[in-house]
Amino acid sequence: MKDYVVYQPSTFPEFRVAELESLASLYNIPLDLSHHDNQSPFLVIPLENDDQARQLISRAVMSYGIYELWGIGKTYEELHADVKARSADKFAKYKESSFKFDFKSYHGKQSNRSKIKIIESFGYLEFDGKIDLQNPEETFIVMEEYPYNDKGKSETITNLLFAREIALSQRASGVVEKYDLKKRKYIGTTSFEAELSLVSCNLAQVAPGKIVYDPFAGTGSFLVTAANFGGIPIGSDIDIRMVTGKSKDCNIQSNFEQYGTAGNFVDVLTMDFTHNALRSDLQIDTILCDPPYGVREGLRVLGAKNEDKAAGREKHVYNGETAYLRREFIPPKKPYQLSSLLEDLLQFASERLPIGGRLAFWMPTANDNFEETIIPQHKSLELLHCLEQSFNQWSRRLVVYVKRDESYQGVTSNGLKEKNIKDFRERYFKKFAD
Ligand SMILES: C[S@@+](CC[C@H](N)C(=O)[O-])C[C@H]1O[C@@H](n2cnc3c(N)ncnc32)[C@H](O)[C@@H]1O
């Protein structure tokens, strides 16, 4: 085993770790996260070799890259001593390679003049290769951590690492910018931001050639990001306007064309999830969604508020045809509770996912009454993650489950229903006052 450093963005620390765990489990890589520190963007992990490091990081969204660790210290003196003690056997291997040095500094930075001095202090490496800033064979990184608010006074550095670049991630190649909603052709008020949509795909373990179903597809944010990782997306939505889009050239299909992944896209259908019409033998590998919670879009299912009135309508005839059998017929809908919808979603996942398949969805919660116990559970789905993105008075949580085999002894529960927690929509519009 060798030590590697993963360099991560400072946002969403919980998501960073969970994403690494998920990718490690996807590729069967044992992962030791004992050095993880929420406050630091540099995470040291032991791995077998560079190939394993490349595999772990290539599709990461919450990491920039992975580097072979050459030394650590709290001061430059300590760092140089550690590089010589730990990595002297590596110096000769890179003696003739073209190379460059780079800096990753957190909460501070060096002036260009002091960077040059620091680079010169690594003279004992005795690299004779050409310095190539554009396309070097090797990149060596000096990683510096300063205490928050010290504005990079070099005497206050708290942690230093020196490492050789092994691989950069999809994030470093600009995947978050590529899927930025501002650049997307077809979006709506419910479209989900690019970064966490991509991360959700990694946590759901969307994989090449595997079918990903979003039952509440809306404008298809999860469908396009799933295709980015090679998934084969299928969506459904109760609202036909979402499915048809704004025009012939501005719809979910045109978004796939924009990203060059139209070949992956199966289709979206207008359908109430709770009256699901997907064939029961259709293999769904992953379910990933953002269920309606009623703030920007209604949570509705097929049915009528007043059953007696609706029964009379069944007899309506239009132009000699039974009205409800006509193609243009728009069926009545009735409001539904989020707690019931989530229960239906877990049940559906337990029936349709293969063993090891994942269900991931975003669930809104009011911050003042959140307890883990309101996260719904199903006896055959193990809860892996419940990760929070916090807003002011409310949060949304990415909840991730894996389908287990019969030997798994889970429990089925619906905390929202049991604790009689009011529907999120109602609390949202009453500004969480009670
Ligand atoms: C939060 S939005 C999802 C937005 C989506 N992630 C996007 O990228 O636009 C929830 C969606 O669920 C749809 N919906 C509401 N009730 C539904 C039901 N019973 N079955 C299927 N879709 C439903 C709404 O029309 C809405 O588009």
Atom of ligand 1 nearest to the CA of 239: 25
Going by alpha carbons, the residue nearest to atom 5 of ligand 1 is 218
Identify whether residues 150 and 195 lie together within a single domain. no
CATH number of the domain that 41 lies in?
3.30.2130.30
Q: In this structure, is the dihedral angle defined by the CA atoms of residues 167, 231, 19 and 363, taken in order, positive or negative?
A: positive
Identify whether residues 317 and 390 lie together within a single domain. yes
Tell me, using a 6 A CB cutoff, whether residue 242 lines ligand 1.
yes
Identify whether residues 215 and 148 lie together within a single domain. no
Q: In which residue are the tokens 């989020």 written?
A: 338
Identify whether residues 335 and 385 lie together within a single domain. yes
What token pair was written down for 144?
Answer: 């510096």
Integer angstrom CA distances of residue 432 from 151, 168, 321, 322, 365: 39, 43, 49, 46, 10
Identify whether residues 88 and 231 lie together within a single domain. no
Q: What is the pLDDT of residue 314?
A: 74
Task: Mark the ranges of the chain whose per-residue pLDDT is less than 70.
Answer: 150-155, 294-298, 367-369, 419-434
Identify whether residues 216 and 194 lie together within a single domain. yes
For residue 276, being part of any structural domain is answered with: yes
The DSSP secondary structure of 192-224, one letter per residue, reads: PPHHHHHHHHHHTT--TT-EEEETT-TTTHHHH
CATH number of the domain that 360 lies in?
3.40.50.150
Q: What is the pLDDT of residue 432?
A: 60
Identify whether residues 143 and 182 lie together within a single domain. no
Q: How many domains does the chain have?
A: 2
Compute the distance from residue 99 Cα to the ligand 1 centre, in Å: 50
Q: What is the pLDDT of residue 147?
A: 84
Atom of ligand 1 nearest to the CA of 336: 19
Identify whether residues 264 and 289 lie together within a single domain. yes
**Closest to 11 (Cα-Cα) out of 429, 390, 427:** 390
Tell me, using a 6 A CB cutoff, whether residue 68 lines ligand 1.
no
Q: What is the pLDDT of residue 22?
A: 98
d(CA 102, CA 120): 13
In 39-151 the beta strands, taken as DSSP E runs, fall at 42-47, 65-73, 99-106, 138-145
Q: What is the pLDDT of residue 298?
A: 66
Q: Which domain holds residue 19?
A: 2-168
Atom of ligand 1 nearest to the CA of 302: 19
- Could you read off the pLDDT of 284-303 as tens digits, one per residue? 999 999 999 866 666 889 98
What token pair was written down for 192?
Answer: 């989900």
Helix, coil or strand: residue 412: coil
Put residue 12 in one of left, alpha, beta given phi > 0 → left and psi -120 to 50 → alpha. Answer: left
Do residues 410 and 379 make contact, with C-beta atoms less than 8 angstroms apart? yes
Q: What is the pLDDT of residue 171?
A: 98
For residue 277, being part of any structural domain is answered with: yes
Q: What is the β-pairing status of strands 99-106 and 211-214? A: unpaired
d(CA 16, CA 202): 11
What token pair was written down for 230?
Answer: 């090679």
d(CA 48, CA 45): 10
Identify whether residues 180 and 163 lie together within a single domain. no
Identify whether residues 155 and 184 lie together within a single domain. no
> In terms of C-beta density within 10 A (0-12 exposed, 13-18 middle, 19 or more buried), how is residue 432 classed?
middle
Identify whether residues 320 and 388 lie together within a single domain. yes
For the chain, how many helices (H) and strands (E)? 13, 17
Domain closes at, from 168, 201, 222: 168
Q: How many CA atoms lie within 13 A of 44 on its CB side?
A: 14
Tell me, using a 6 A CB cutoff, whether residue 272 lines ligand 1.
yes
